Amino acid sequence: MREGACPQQARAVRVAICSLGDFPDGAVFPDPELRASVLAPIGGAHSATAVVSLDPEGALEWIRWLAGGQAVQGEEALRRFCSGAGTLAHHALQGLGGGAVEVEAPSLHEAPLVQTLLGTHAPPDTAVLSAELALASEGGSLPLCFYVLMDAKILGALAGALR
């Protein structure tokens, strides 16, 4: 990836749906297990939790993209990472079902992904939409995983609206 390049688009490489109780089987699950993930509670028309997850090196690269190639550290890097993940979650959910989507205070979690998702305390029958995305820019692409945890009925209605 060319330094200073900002993501221009995201392309879904793989998509899967399973219940949280069946996670990680049946889901897009990354390797290595230790991830830099941002949890973004979603309010508005469709209550959900979005998770944007990258390996630690990918997270640092994405922060460089978001900073226009500038070196940022500490609180500024954390702010950019959480803000970028919140923006990605907002656009993805807006594209899925329209309606008002409000991202509420995204927060960083550096832990195994299963621990991060189970830490939401969502019930085992919660639907998990998982996707491996490639963020593309003029200089290359960056892989990340994107998850949405929501009530199965809401996810079903959204999927039906896409037909």
Is residue 21 in some structural domain? Answer: yes
Count of domains for the chain: 1
Is residue 2 in some structural domain? Answer: no
> What is the Cα 21 distance to its own chain's centre?
19
Domain containing residue 129: CATH number: 3.40.1550.10
Check pLDDT > 50 for residue 96.
yes
Q: Which domain holds residue 110?
A: 9-161
- 83/6: higher pLDDT: 83
Check pLDDT > 70 for residue 97.
no
pTM of the complete model: 0.83
Q: How many CB atoms lie within 10 A of CB 68?
A: 11
Q: Which residues make Cβ contacts (< 8 Å) with residue 127, sequence separation at least 6?
A: 17, 18, 19, 20, 149, 150, 151, 152, 154, 155, 156
- 109/91: higher pLDDT: 109
Is residue 4 in some structural domain? Answer: no
Highest mean pLDDT among 97-106, 133-142, 146-155: 146-155
For residue 106, give the nearest of 132, 130, 78, 74 by alpha carbon: 78
Is residue 18 in some structural domain? Answer: yes
Mean pLDDT of the chain: 82
Q: Which residues make Cβ contacts (< 8 Å) with residue 71, sequence separation at least 6?
A: 64
